[in-house]
Amino acid sequence: METRPWLRTMKARALVRLWSIFGERLWIVVNMGFPILSSLALSLLYYSIGATGYIGFAILGGVMVAFWGNVLWSMASQFNWDKQEGLFEIYLTSPASLSAILIGMSFGGIIGTAPSAAMVIGIGWVLFHPVVAASWGAVLLTFLLTLVSLYAMGMTLSSLYLTYGREAESMNNVLQEPVSMVSGLYFPAIGGASPFPFAIQAVASLIPLTIGMDALRKSLFRGMDVGSIWPSLVTLAVMAVIFLVISNFALKALENRGRRDGTIAVRIR
Amino acid sequence: MISFRSLFASAWMGIQHDLAWTYPPVSLALQVVAPFASAMTVSMIYWFGSSNSGPGVLFNPTQLAYVLVGSTLYAHVAAYAWVPTVAIAEGKNLSVFQHIYLTARSTALYVAGRALSSFAISVTTSIAALAAAYYVLGSFLSTTVPLTVTPVTALMLGIALVADIPAALGLGYLLGAYSLYASKFEWSLPGYVAGLLMVFSGALFPPSILPYPVSVGATYLPFTQFIAAARVAIVPGVSGNYLYSLSLCVLGGAIFLVVGLAVYFAAEKKARKDGVIDRRMA
């Protein structure tokens, strides 16, 4: 495989995503809406019951829900929407690699979502002054690995969604809230403080967001360094590789099946 | 003029749209998942915060019921208030809407029908979500969530749900008016509205903790009063006056509906005049 066309494809798709977000400034503001407001509401819930020491959990959850929403609605569903718009046919007839397109989409999505995340942090900080005892190196490393594994999961979902027709949107609606709940975006979902029974904690641990959130809380609010949270970091890295491999296989398999059955470019089923 | 036949046809179309994309019972069950997970999330935040904050903060089952009922009802309102926006935006995108605006009736009837069908579905899924969360929370947290369910309290809850329809429909018309005329950001608007309701409708915490004068505005929103009335009906020990909250909900709802319809009719008239009503990209 030649590297240059692959990289150019990735860059081109990332630029399309960035242009679609930053080219229309109002989009930046619009994208901030739900993460900021949900984070604010849940911070106020912690505040109203006197649990002010945990307001930082709600703010961190608001940061990560912005990325999770982006993965679900702008990664997982994207090929499906491209199919409806007739764009997917163009991808298929061009020599561009679908994996490069997805990775470009991920880069664009991460950079495009960053303003929302930053705004949640800024507003949360100004309004609530959450208590932070961070090991910043560990926080940064965990954050990056969480994003890589999360977007790799988005690539896998994107390839699986190619088999769906109109059901894709309903699948997103079904996935969004339960994953937010079991992955512990706003409260610990795994470990001693989790309200979940062991079986649910075990299943939740298969989602990168669960591992990432747990490690982020430990490094950001309890000052745990890389040496203390390394099992989570290794797990996130392994998950990223596994999801990338699965998405690559799934894309090829579904593309072949779609070509054979003549359904790959059918717009609405 | 109200045509019940058109209203019924639109509502039936809404039911078909929302449920018939797969086997309807499966579709209905899938629609329970999001409100259930949302109610569980906030209930667990309450449980975690109140159980781990030291001696000054105590876990109170009544407060858990307060949060559980509020979050379920907030999700219910958010679920059907955004339907007009989606019905119009999706209709324009898939070239369905032009067939509706070409008929003799105003598209407002179509929007009302879609919202009412969504209300019926959302009531079903919200009550199912509340029941499921009640049992699962009891099991996970080893506690009993105090809810009073008798024919009388169920009737009171039902009346409160119906009393909130004008307010939600009014909000729907306001959002729908935007969708009629624009093709940007309409998909994100409902997210904004859901977030605003979460903060200002008293779903998770009393609006009185918000800074003045925001707290006053939030207290008198019809959505806040609807949730307050529903809580008085089914959560024992919650302070409040059912009839007072219900009256404020109906009054506020009437204002929302009149304003929403006025804005919608103006937007529809202008959109027809400007020729953008059936354009995918306005």
Summarised one tens digit per residue, pLDDT across range B22-46 is 888 988 998 899 999 999 999 999 9
Mean pLDDT, to the nearest integer, of A12-17? 90
Best-predicted range by mean pLDDT among A79-88, A103-112, A171-180, B270-279? A103-112
**Predicted confidence (pLDDT) per residue in B200-231, tens digit:** 999 999 999 999 999 999 999 999 999 999 99
The interface predicted TM-score of the complex, written ipTM, equals 0.90
Which residues in chain B have Cβ-Cβ distances shorter than 8 Å to A168? none
Write down the pTM of the prediction.
0.90
pLDDT at B202: 92
Q: Residue A54 is encoded by which pair of tokens?
A: 């945990």
Which residues in chain A have Cβ-Cβ distances shorter than 8 Å to B191? 33-34
Mean pLDDT, to the nearest integer, of A67-79? 85
**Predicted confidence (pLDDT) per residue in A153-175, tens digit:** 998 888 877 776 666 677 777 88
**Best mutation site among A126, A179, A181 for testing chain B: the one with the most B CBs within 10 Å?**
A181
User: Rounded distance, CA B119 to CA B162, Å?
Assistant: 9
Q: Residue A167 is encoded by which pair of tokens?
A: 């059901």
User: Rounded distance, CA B266 to CA A172, Å?
Assistant: 35
Q: Residue A63 is encoded by which pair of tokens?
A: 């940061």
Q: Does the pLDDT of residue A31 top 60, yes or no?
A: yes
pLDDT at B259: 97
Contacts of A250 (CB under 8 A, 6+ apart): A156, A159, A160
Min Cα distance A212 → chain B (Å) is 18
- Strand residue runs (E) in B7-144: none
**Predicted confidence (pLDDT) per residue in B86-136, tens digit:** 888 888 777 777 777 777 667 888 889 999 999 999 999 999 999 999 999
* Residue A259 confidence class, pLDDT cut points 50, 70, 90: confident
- Ranges of H-type helices in chain B: 4-19, 24-51, 61-81, 83-93, 97-101, 107-141, 151-163, 165-181, 189-200, 214-219, 222-234, 242-274
**Predicted confidence (pLDDT) per residue in B179-200, tens digit:** 887 766 777 777 788 888 889 9
Q: What residues of chain A, 152 to 211, have a C-beta less than 8 Å from chain B?
A: 166-167, 170, 173-174, 176-178, 180-181, 185-188, 193, 195-197
Q: Could you say which DSSP state residue B142 is in?
A: T
Cβ contact, residue pair B21, A167, below 8 Å:
yes
Query: Phi and psi at residue B205, in whole multiples of 5°?
Result: -150, 160
pLDDT at B158: 95
Task: Identify whether the C-beta of residue A96 lies closer than 8 Å to the C-beta of residue A255.
Answer: no
pLDDT at A166: 64
Query: Which residue, among B71, B94, B97, has the nearest Cα to B84 in the 3D structure?
Result: B97
Q: Does the pLDDT of residue B282 top 50, yes or no?
A: no
B38 vs A: CB within 8 A: yes
Element (H, E) at B89: helix B83-93
Mean pLDDT, to the nearest integer, of A198-202? 94
Min Cα distance B130 → chain A (Å) is 15
pLDDT at A11: 93
Q: What residues of chain B, 13 to 32, have a C-beta less than 8 Å from chain A?
A: 21-22, 27, 30-31
B67 vs A: CB within 8 A: yes
Mean pLDDT, to the nearest integer, of A101-127? 90
Q: Could you say which DSSP state residue B211 is in?
A: P
* Residue B55 confidence class, pLDDT cut points 50, 70, 90: confident
Which residues in chain B have Cβ-Cβ distances shorter than 8 Å to A38? 195, 198
Cβ contact, residue pair B42, A45, below 8 Å:
yes
Q: Which residue has the higher pLDDT, A162 or B268?
A: B268
What's the mean per-residue pLDDT of chain A?
87
Which residue from A41, A44, A197 is facing B140, i.e. has the nearest CB?
Answer: A197
Q: How many CB atoms lie within 10 A of CB A103?
A: 22
Amino acid at B69: V
Q: Residue A77 is encoded by which pair of tokens?
A: 């569903």
User: Rounded distance, CA A66 to CA A181, Å?
Assistant: 15
User: Rounded distance, CA A54 to CA A52, Å?
Assistant: 5
